[in-house]
Copies of this chain bind each other. A is one copy, B any other.
Amino acid sequence: MKKGKKVRTVPPVKRIHYFGRLGSRRTRFSVDRLGGKGASLAYMRSLGLPVPPGFTITTEVCAEYYDRGQKLPPGLMDQVEESLAKLEKEMGKEFGATESPLLVSVRSGAAASMPGMMDTILNLGLNDQTAEWMAEATENERATYDAYRRLIHMFGDVVMGVDHELFEDAFAEIKSKYSVVDDTEVPSKGLRELVGKYKQIYKKNTKESFPQDPRKQLRLAIQAVFNSWNAPRAVRYREINHLHGYLGTAVTVQAMVFGNLDDCSGTGVCFTRNPATGEDKLFGEFLVNAQGEDVVAGIRTPRDVQEMAEWNPKVLEELREMKWVLEGHFKDMQDLEFTIEGGDLYMLQSRRGQRTGAAAVRIAVDMVDQGIISQEEALLRIPPQAMTQFLLPSYSSSDKEGSDVLTRGLPASPGAARGKLAFTAEDAVKRAEAGEDVILVRRETSPEDVDGMHHARGILTSTGGMTSHAAVVARGWGKCCVVGAGALSINAGKQTVTVDGKKFGPDDTLSIDGSTGEVMEGEVDHSEPELSGYFGTVMEWGDEHRALGIRANADTPEEALRARNFGATGIGLCRTEHMFFGPGRIEAVQEMILSDSTRAREKALAKLLPYQREDFKGILEAMKGFPVTIRLLDPPLHEFLPRDKKRQDLLARTLGVTPGMVEERVEALEESNPMLGHRGCRLAITYPEIPVMQVTAIVEAAVACRRAGIRALPEIMIPLVGSVKEFALLRDLVEQTIEDVMKAENYSGNLQIPIGTMIEVPRAAMTAGEIAGIADFFSFGTNDLTQMTYGFSRDDINSFLPDYLSQGVLDKDPFFSLDQTGVGRLVALATSEGREGNPDLKVGICGEHGGEADSIEFFHGIGLDYVSCSSFRVPVARLAAAQAALRIDGWENSD
């Protein structure tokens, strides 16, 4: 006992909770005090369900046990005796009697599920004498001695610390002696022998005999459960999962019931609804004349729970009734354990059932229709991520069965894809256009690969993280993508990829799963998406509750249309740089970059103008009536020039300059840290002719739309602003250009184009009040803001991120879920100071975090106007935003 530490003393009345006919107290069945298991049993019993009686020693006693230096509190065992006496009376059996004795199970159970602690000990109370009686009474010597040897093994191992290998070795000897392989083949005679051996092992290692006194068994078992709370595995589990503040574990002692008494007995497990599809029908299995663990052990093949209709329709009907009682009270789909003893049904467990995303959606909607839960409750319990399952082709586990998983990368963009391997973007384009399904396999991708990525069915890279180029682009398109599959060794020159000792070439097929990161050999089947009515219902309910607007990041009319289909009410980020890579465009871009005068650059830009105008027109049309935030050119210019000598020479020939000139310009543009280099608004300030061309294209497109009766609502966003002066200079330029173009177009309509900025440089956040004074909107670029606030290059983070995650330095990848403490504080500060500087400021976020549920809750909490995310995350965002509103702002319960 630690000096000076105060010892808790739990009052006797709070130490033990009895559940049963006799003396069950009506109380709040506190999960904190009784543990999950104890509370569920007590609750079921209080509902009048048939639960074998028993009692639970509370978690507070466990805390007192530790306060006292691992000693049972004085008087506890007296109270256990009292409860035991009640139990004996209720069951009409005596604990420790020679004939027809009361047997009990002892189970641990904390408030949260916690692997690593001791599990159940069954059949406590068995000893040599009671075993003899039972073998005879049940006419099942084998089962009796099998139970007895299990008791000694488990008790010896868990309670007394005897090395479990000693027991296993002895079992192996017996099997060898009887020349059998499976445990179940050992005859009852062998099991009797084994019990003898086990008792010897027990005695040799504990210096005492296996306790024949059931009371001693019980006391030691209770202590063992308490001790297991601080077993290293349990402590580690709590650390990893940040489970703090728990008192300890409860101990439940419960009368045994026997599913293996006769052919009117049985045991089973079932879900109250189908956990895979959500269908409202009991789903599970049972075994006649069997004990609980047999179902799990797979010794006999269990039967579908629905087949109970033939065996014992009354029990099935009872189960169905209990389903409604339990769901009505727990207000959720349940995972049940039950035993039938001589035709009577007993409930041994009822807990929340695990389910797939699709099932979660269907169950939630059905339960609202059935009046079990409110719409709001339904919305809150669907994992937002589940919504994506409705949008994409996917592998089911049966699809994958038998397939060879070669390795696993990061699940960068969900979906299923299969195809032959293309090792260059050009090859992917060529073969896709010839009708072939290809997977583009690259070490990493760059903007030059975009066309090939677009043509491929899926993208697979060996480097890069969740926000690498490949990942971001693929997510934007909803294209299946696996990145950072480090086990792949790619040789693009030889067109081979080697993994796990196998080599694949252009004619081999791989299948990738963007939801799990799995890379599989050959062609694996998958199912196409189906937007069912459940999806629509949930989205509709959510939209009624959310405060955040949901926009999408989209760069093409097709993406914009898809975003609208998925429910986006605006484009929050339309990147213009991807538009620079199409054929006919990239040449003009390169010509512009290689020009050495403003006039020459303007000439090259003039060639781009018509393309850009058409791009913008298409997107504005697709989003008619909804705002489209167009970001001016952002990446550094070197991204548009070829890096390899061969393509540089080709470019020189195309432009009619010397190869040396191209090489020199590429070198001059090279940067040590391109992320922090000459890009964003810095480009616009040094080469104002670029934004002038882009703004011209935007205004011309908008005017053309308006004249065609289409309500185009463009917004112009200036990237990478770090100071109010940058923004002021460029705002003037943009406004002047808008005025000039409207004059040139002779358009006098009311074309109010809001001009705002991305907040992605920490300095912009720190000076947001100033910037907001002259900005119409802010959009947080949380990707770059995270990079700069943490000082993490997302392209390089993989060299230390795994260590950071495994050592707990980071809880999660900050590029996936917003770092609320650091980056989030900047976002909140900039939002509030921005609004002080300009009360009309519209504030949104367009980084990857716009589609992640925890981040969305944060954004709702600080009062942003909207989030913008890739179109495939729009449904996730819609639901997450509704949940955030419900959680933070609460709601009127309609119950």
Q: Are B682 and A800 in contact (CB under 8 A)?
A: yes
Q: Is A665 in the interface zone, CB < 8 Å from B?
A: no
Query: Residues of B contacting A654 with CB < 8 Å?
Result: none
Q: Are A809 and B676 in contact (CB under 8 A)?
A: no
Query: Residues of B contacting A821 with CB < 8 Å?
Result: 723, 766-767, 770
The residue among A678, A726, A762, A784 with the most chain B CB atoms within 10 A of its own CB is: A762
Q: Is A788 in the interface zone, CB < 8 Å from B?
A: yes
Per-position binary interface string of chain A over residues 676-691, scored 1 when its CB falls under 8 Å from any chain B CB and 0 otherwise: 1110001001100000
Query: Residues of B contacting A808 with CB < 8 Å?
Result: 725
Query: Residues of B contacting A678 with CB < 8 Å?
Result: 796, 799-800
* Known A808-B725, A822-B722; contact A675-B673, beta-carbon cutoff 8 A: yes
- Cα(A767)–Cα(B826), bound, Å: 11
* Known A672-B675, A673-B676, A796-B671; contact A722-B766, beta-carbon cutoff 8 A: no
Q: Is A396 in the interface zone, CB < 8 Å from B?
A: no
- Cα(A770)–Cα(B819), bound, Å: 15
Q: Give, as a whole number of angstroms, the nearest-CB distance from A403 to chain B.
A: 31
* Known A762-B788, A766-B826; contact A803-B722, beta-carbon cutoff 8 A: no
| A window 793-848: CB within 8 A of B | 793, 795-796, 799-800, 803-804, 807-810, 819, 821-823, 825-826
Q: Give, as a whole number of angstroms, the nearest-CB distance from A818 to chain B.
A: 12
| A window 667-713: CB within 8 A of B | 671-678, 682, 685-686
Q: Are A790 and B722 in contact (CB under 8 A)?
A: yes
| Interface CB pairs A-B, < 8 A, 18 | A671-B799, A673-B675, A673-B793, A678-B799, A678-B800, A685-B800, A685-B804, A686-B799, A723-B809, A723-B822, A761-B789, A761-B791, A763-B790, A766-B825, A767-B825, A770-B821, A784-B791, A788-B788
Q: Out of B677, B766, B793, which one reaches A796, CB within 8 Å?
A: B677
Q: Is A720 in the interface zone, CB < 8 Å from B?
A: yes
Q: Out of B676, B760, B790, which one reaches A793, CB within 8 Å?
A: B676
A interface residues, Cβ below 8 angstroms from B = 671-678, 682, 685-686, 720, 722-723, 725-726, 729, 760-763, 766-767, 770, 784, 787-793, 795-796, 799-800, 803-804, 807-810, 819, 821-823, 825-826
- Cα(A792)–Cα(B675), bound, Å: 9
Q: Are B729 and A787 in contact (CB under 8 A)?
A: no
Query: Residues of B contacting A809 with CB < 8 Å?
Result: 685, 723, 725-726, 729
Q: Out of B671, B673, B789, B800, which one reaches A763, CB within 8 Å?
A: B789
Chain B residue nearest to A671 (CB atoms) is B796
Query: Residues of B contacting A760 with CB < 8 Å?
Result: 791
* Known A673-B675, A791-B676; contact A685-B723, beta-carbon cutoff 8 A: no
* Known A685-B800, A793-B671, A804-B685; contact A787-B676, beta-carbon cutoff 8 A: yes
Q: Out of B672, B682, B803, which one reaches A686, CB within 8 Å?
A: B803
Q: Are A763 and B796 in contact (CB under 8 A)?
A: no
Q: Are A677 and B723 in contact (CB under 8 A)?
A: no
Q: Give, as a whole number of angstroms, the nearest-CB distance from A486 to chain B.
A: 11
Q: Are B685 and A793 in contact (CB under 8 A)?
A: no
Closest 6 CB pairs of A and B: A676-B793, A763-B822, A673-B793, A672-B795, A761-B791, A677-B796
- Cα(A792)–Cα(B723), bound, Å: 12
Chain B residue nearest to A673 (CB atoms) is B793
Q: Are B672 and A672 in contact (CB under 8 A)?
A: no
Q: Are B762 and A795 in contact (CB under 8 A)?
A: no
The residue among A674, A678, A720, A763 with the most chain B CB atoms within 10 A of its own CB is: A763
Query: Residues of B contacting A671 with CB < 8 Å?
Result: 793, 795-796, 799
Q: Out of B763, B770, B792, B826, which one reaches A676, CB within 8 Å?
A: B792
Chain B residue nearest to A826 (CB atoms) is B766
* Known A673-B676, A762-B826; contact A686-B800, beta-carbon cutoff 8 A: yes
Q: Give, as a whole number of angstroms, the nearest-CB distance from A631 to chain B.
A: 16
Query: Residues of B contacting A720 with CB < 8 Å?
Result: 791
Q: Out of B723, B791, B796, which one reaches A788, CB within 8 Å?
A: B791
Query: Residues of B contacting A787 with CB < 8 Å?
Result: 676
- Cα(A288)–Cα(B641), bound, Å: 70
Query: Residues of B contacting A807 with CB < 8 Å?
Result: 685, 729
Query: Residues of B contacting A803 with CB < 8 Å?
Result: 685-686
Query: Residues of B contacting A810 with CB < 8 Å?
Result: 723, 725
Q: Give, as a whole number of angstroms, the nearest-CB distance from A672 to chain B.
A: 4
Q: Give, as a whole number of angstroms, the nearest-CB distance from A821 to chain B.
A: 6
Q: Give, as a whole number of angstroms, the nearest-CB distance from A797 to chain B.
A: 8
Query: Residues of B contacting A790 with CB < 8 Å?
Result: 722, 761-763
Query: Residues of B contacting A822 with CB < 8 Å?
Result: 722-723, 762-763, 766-767
Chain B residue nearest to A463 (CB atoms) is B668
Q: Give, as a whole number of angstroms, the nearest-CB distance from A878 to chain B.
A: 30
Q: Give, as a whole number of angstroms, the nearest-CB distance from A541 to chain B.
A: 37
- Cα(A729)–Cα(B807), bound, Å: 9
Q: Give, as a whole number of angstroms, the nearest-CB distance from A263 to chain B.
A: 60
Query: Residues of B contacting A722 with CB < 8 Å?
Result: 790-792, 822
Q: Are A789 and B788 in contact (CB under 8 A)?
A: yes
Chain B residue nearest to A786 (CB atoms) is B763
Q: Are A823 and B672 in contact (CB under 8 A)?
A: no
- Cα(A784)–Cα(B790), bound, Å: 12
Query: Residues of B contacting A788 with CB < 8 Å?
Result: 676, 762, 788-789, 791
Q: Are A793 and B761 in contact (CB under 8 A)?
A: no
- Cα(A588)–Cα(B375), bound, Å: 66
Query: Residues of B contacting A800 with CB < 8 Å?
Result: 678, 682, 685-686
Q: Are A763 and B823 in contact (CB under 8 A)?
A: yes
- Cα(A467)–Cα(B69), bound, Å: 60
Q: Give, as a whole number of angstroms, the nearest-CB distance from A625 to chain B.
A: 35
Chain B residue nearest to A819 (CB atoms) is B763
Q: Are B789 and A672 in contact (CB under 8 A)?
A: no
Q: A672-B796, A763-B822, A766-B825 are in contact. List 13 more A-B contacts (CB 8 A).
A: A671-B793, A672-B675, A675-B793, A676-B792, A685-B807, A720-B791, A722-B822, A725-B810, A729-B807, A760-B791, A761-B789, A761-B790, A762-B791
Query: Residues of B contacting A763 with CB < 8 Å?
Result: 789-791, 819, 822-823
Chain B residue nearest to A821 (CB atoms) is B767
The residue among A671, A766, A784, A804 with the most chain B CB atoms within 10 A of its own CB is: A766
- Cα(A323)–Cα(B673), bound, Å: 58
Q: Give, as a whole number of angstroms, the nearest-CB distance from A376 to chain B.
A: 35
Q: Are A676 and B796 in contact (CB under 8 A)?
A: yes
- Cα(A808)–Cα(B725), bound, Å: 8
Query: Residues of B contacting A819 with CB < 8 Å?
Result: 763
- Cα(A799)–Cα(B676), bound, Å: 12
Chain B residue nearest to A792 (CB atoms) is B676
